[in-house]
Amino acid sequence: MQPQSQRGFFITFEGLDGSGKTTQIKRLTAWLAARNIAPVVTRQPGGTETGDRIRALLLDSKSTGLSPKTELAMMFADRAQAIEEIIAPALRTGKIVVCDRFTDSTEAYQGCGRELGSQIVLELHRLICNDLRPDLTILLLPDLAASLARARRRNTHQTSVTGKDESRFEQEQNSFFHRVYTGYKAIAAREPDRVLVIEGDLTVEEVHAQVTRAVSSMLRQMNLISS
Ligand code: TYD
């Protein structure tokens, strides 16, 4: 799985909990479908059978006392499986892959939020993920307080409907999310060619317009679409 052997197109969505990634991924998938493109859509953690089990352990608020390095290693265990099973095979056959979170999440959450630093994350990415680099990363950064309120509301609702508790991260303090936010900003500043930051108080429609503008310009460059 060499990055240079990629023939498809790899798009990742990043942002804080409650930043609206899920809605935008659905909108982008529909936009691509209207152009006869069926992307492979996946998410991290999860997406594979093993990954879903890792996800359950990571997100369950009953998983108390996970050390930051355990958390980091589990995120990469999940990612290694997803690359092997889903992402690399899809890219090899020329597909567009849309992934809800990737290594930038690990850098922002474990590197900055848990204060493990970026270096260990980037080093593991190199060793475990062969430095697989998204072609385009959409980073959604609406107002921090509003996204957190949305994420916490959503989890309370989900737990009451499904009985599944996935709120371990949402229960973190605001200072943790401030560090995650700052981490994301630093990644975007370091890699402006890859990361498109969509900031501020925008409507779903306005964000979608920015997403499709970026995606269509890259797909045109690669001759994957004509209009
Ligand atoms: P999820 O319910 O998928 O949240 P969201 O819809 O906001 O993406 O939960 C994923 C959680 O896992 C989220 O709080 C971020 C965290 N996470 C990390 O801490 N590190 C990582 O590498 C990844 C992929 C996710």
Model confidence over 113-123: pLDDT tens digits? 999 999 999 99
CA 38 to ligand 1 centroid distance, Å: 24
Interval 157-208: pLDDT, tens: 777 777 777 778 888 888 999 999 999 999 999 999 999 999 988 999 999 9
Interval 18-61: pLDDT, tens: 899 999 999 999 999 999 999 999 999 999 999 999 999 999 98
Query: Domain 9-221 falls in which CATH fold?
Result: Rossmann fold (3.40.50)
Using CA positions, which residue lies closest to atom 17 of ligand 1?
Answer: 105
Across 1-5, 95-99, 219-223, least confident range: 1-5
Per-residue buried b or exposed e for 4-22, using 16+ beta carbons within 10 Å of the residue's own CB: eebebbbbbbbbbbbbbbe
Query: Helices marked H in 107-203 — which ranges?
Result: 118-129, 144-162, 174-190
As a whole number of angstroms, the distance between CA 207 and CA 20 comes to: 9
Q: Does any ligand 1 atom lie closer than 6 A to the CB of residue 48?
A: no
